[in-house]
Amino acid sequence: MNGCSRRFDQSGLEILSAAECHKLLGSVRVGRLLFTSAALPTVRLVNFVVDADTIVFATADADRYRAAERGDVVAFEVDDIDLDEHGGWTVTAVGHLSVVDADEFEDLLQTLPRRPWPPDRERHLIRLGIESLDGRRLVAWVQRHEDPRQDELH
Protein backbone atom coordinates (compact mmCIF):
# COMPACT_ATOMS: atom_id res chain seq x y z
CA MET A 1 0.00 0.00 0.00
CA ASN A 2 1.62 3.30 -1.01
CA GLY A 3 1.31 6.48 1.01
CA CYS A 4 -1.13 8.09 -1.42
CA SER A 5 -3.79 5.44 -0.88
CA ARG A 6 -3.72 5.59 2.91
CA ARG A 7 -6.62 7.27 4.67
CA PHE A 8 -6.56 8.64 8.20
CA ASP A 9 -9.38 9.57 10.55
CA GLN A 10 -9.56 12.83 12.53
CA SER A 11 -7.50 11.25 15.33
CA GLY A 12 -4.65 10.43 12.96
CA LEU A 13 -5.35 6.69 12.94
CA GLU A 14 -5.08 4.89 9.62
CA ILE A 15 -8.45 3.60 8.38
CA LEU A 16 -8.10 -0.05 7.35
CA SER A 17 -9.82 -1.53 4.31
CA ALA A 18 -12.36 -4.33 4.75
CA ALA A 19 -9.87 -6.79 3.23
CA GLU A 20 -7.12 -5.75 5.67
CA CYS A 21 -9.60 -5.96 8.58
CA HIS A 22 -10.59 -9.49 7.56
CA LYS A 23 -6.93 -10.52 7.26
CA LEU A 24 -6.09 -9.11 10.70
CA LEU A 25 -9.19 -10.68 12.24
CA GLY A 26 -7.91 -14.10 11.19
CA SER A 27 -4.37 -13.43 12.44
CA VAL A 28 -5.13 -13.69 16.16
CA ARG A 29 -6.68 -16.42 18.30
CA VAL A 30 -8.40 -14.46 21.05
CA GLY A 31 -10.99 -11.69 20.78
CA ARG A 32 -13.47 -9.82 22.91
CA LEU A 33 -17.19 -10.46 22.54
CA LEU A 34 -19.27 -7.44 23.58
CA PHE A 35 -22.89 -8.31 24.32
CA THR A 36 -25.71 -7.52 26.73
CA SER A 37 -26.30 -9.58 29.86
CA ALA A 38 -29.01 -8.65 32.36
CA ALA A 39 -29.48 -5.37 30.45
CA LEU A 40 -25.83 -4.37 31.01
CA PRO A 41 -22.88 -4.30 28.60
CA THR A 42 -20.62 -7.31 29.05
CA VAL A 43 -17.22 -8.19 27.59
CA ARG A 44 -15.84 -11.74 27.46
CA LEU A 45 -12.62 -13.10 26.02
CA VAL A 46 -13.16 -15.96 23.58
CA ASN A 47 -10.90 -18.06 21.39
CA PHE A 48 -12.37 -18.28 17.92
CA VAL A 49 -11.94 -19.07 14.25
CA VAL A 50 -12.95 -17.09 11.19
CA ASP A 51 -15.14 -19.12 8.83
CA ALA A 52 -15.64 -17.09 5.63
CA ASP A 53 -17.69 -14.05 6.73
CA THR A 54 -18.48 -15.41 10.18
CA ILE A 55 -16.72 -15.75 13.52
CA VAL A 56 -17.26 -19.06 15.33
CA PHE A 57 -16.56 -19.80 18.99
CA ALA A 58 -17.57 -22.38 21.57
CA THR A 59 -19.27 -21.55 24.83
CA ALA A 60 -20.77 -23.23 27.85
CA ASP A 61 -21.84 -19.80 29.13
CA ALA A 62 -25.62 -19.50 29.42
CA ASP A 63 -25.65 -15.72 28.80
CA ARG A 64 -23.78 -15.99 25.49
CA TYR A 65 -25.93 -18.94 24.44
CA ARG A 66 -29.15 -17.05 25.17
CA ALA A 67 -27.84 -14.04 23.23
CA ALA A 68 -27.25 -16.34 20.26
CA GLU A 69 -30.69 -17.92 20.57
CA ARG A 70 -32.25 -14.43 20.51
CA GLY A 71 -30.10 -13.35 17.55
CA ASP A 72 -28.71 -10.37 19.47
CA VAL A 73 -26.58 -7.77 17.72
CA VAL A 74 -23.11 -7.81 19.24
CA ALA A 75 -19.63 -6.46 18.64
CA PHE A 76 -16.43 -8.48 18.45
CA GLU A 77 -13.03 -6.84 18.81
CA VAL A 78 -9.47 -8.02 18.19
CA ASP A 79 -6.26 -6.05 18.41
CA ASP A 80 -2.50 -6.16 18.57
CA ILE A 81 -0.58 -3.45 20.40
CA ASP A 82 3.18 -2.80 20.48
CA LEU A 83 3.74 -0.64 23.54
CA ASP A 84 7.45 -0.18 22.83
CA GLU A 85 6.97 1.06 19.26
CA HIS A 86 3.69 2.93 19.94
CA GLY A 87 1.96 1.02 17.18
CA GLY A 88 -0.83 -1.42 16.75
CA TRP A 89 -4.24 -2.02 15.28
CA THR A 90 -7.79 -2.81 16.25
CA VAL A 91 -10.60 -4.42 14.25
CA THR A 92 -14.27 -4.49 15.25
CA ALA A 93 -16.90 -6.73 13.70
CA VAL A 94 -20.61 -6.16 14.30
CA GLY A 95 -23.43 -8.56 13.51
CA HIS A 96 -26.07 -10.95 14.77
CA LEU A 97 -25.28 -14.03 16.85
CA SER A 98 -26.80 -17.43 16.06
CA VAL A 99 -26.45 -20.97 17.34
CA VAL A 100 -24.59 -23.30 14.96
CA ASP A 101 -26.90 -25.99 13.56
CA ALA A 102 -26.35 -29.59 14.68
CA ASP A 103 -25.39 -30.68 11.15
CA GLU A 104 -22.47 -28.19 11.08
CA PHE A 105 -21.45 -28.64 14.72
CA GLU A 106 -18.89 -31.48 14.40
CA ASP A 107 -17.14 -30.04 11.35
CA LEU A 108 -16.77 -26.60 12.91
CA LEU A 109 -15.79 -28.02 16.29
CA GLN A 110 -12.71 -29.55 14.63
CA THR A 111 -11.52 -26.09 13.55
CA LEU A 112 -11.60 -24.60 17.05
CA PRO A 113 -8.65 -24.73 19.44
CA ARG A 114 -8.27 -28.18 20.99
CA ARG A 115 -7.93 -26.83 24.50
CA PRO A 116 -10.70 -24.40 25.38
CA TRP A 117 -9.95 -22.03 28.23
CA PRO A 118 -12.78 -23.05 30.55
CA PRO A 119 -13.11 -26.63 31.76
CA ASP A 120 -14.62 -28.93 29.16
CA ARG A 121 -18.37 -28.93 29.79
CA GLU A 122 -21.32 -29.03 27.47
CA ARG A 123 -20.27 -26.77 24.64
CA HIS A 124 -22.39 -24.89 22.17
CA LEU A 125 -21.03 -23.36 19.01
CA ILE A 126 -21.99 -19.77 18.35
CA ARG A 127 -21.67 -17.91 15.07
CA LEU A 128 -21.39 -14.18 14.56
CA GLY A 129 -22.38 -13.18 11.05
CA ILE A 130 -20.15 -10.24 10.13
CA GLU A 131 -22.35 -7.41 8.90
CA SER A 132 -19.93 -4.56 9.54
CA LEU A 133 -16.14 -4.61 9.76
CA ASP A 134 -14.11 -1.59 10.80
CA GLY A 135 -10.46 -1.16 11.71
CA ARG A 136 -7.84 1.37 12.63
CA ARG A 137 -4.05 1.24 12.81
CA LEU A 138 -1.79 3.45 14.88
CA VAL A 139 1.07 4.23 12.52
CA ALA A 140 4.39 5.70 13.62
CA TRP A 141 4.62 9.39 12.69
CA VAL A 142 7.56 8.77 10.37
CA GLN A 143 5.36 6.43 8.30
CA ARG A 144 2.50 8.93 7.93
CA HIS A 145 2.05 11.82 5.56
CA GLU A 146 3.34 15.13 6.79
CA ASP A 147 -0.26 16.07 7.66
CA PRO A 148 -2.56 13.05 8.11
CA ARG A 149 -5.61 15.32 8.03
CA GLN A 150 -5.15 15.72 4.28
CA ASP A 151 -6.48 12.17 3.86
CA GLU A 152 -9.53 12.53 6.11
CA LEU A 153 -12.85 11.40 4.75
CA HIS A 154 -14.66 14.19 2.94
The answer to whether 66 touches 74, Cβ cutoff 8 Å, is no
Question: Which percentage of the chain shows pLDDT scores above 70?
Answer: 80
Residues of the chain with pLDDT under 70: 1-4, 109, 112-122, 141-154
Cβ partners under 8 Å of residue 20, min gap 6: 135
The answer to whether 74 touches 43, Cβ cutoff 8 Å, is no
Cross-strand partners of 2 = none
* pLDDT for residue 1: 47
* pLDDT for residue 16: 97
* pLDDT for residue 115: 56
The answer to whether 74 touches 35, Cβ cutoff 8 Å, is yes
User: Domain residues of the chain, as ranges?
Assistant: 19-136
Q: What is the pTM of this model?
A: 0.82
User: Can you give the C-alpha Rg of the chain in angstroms?
Assistant: 18
CATH number for the domain formed by residue range(s) 19-136: 2.30.110.10
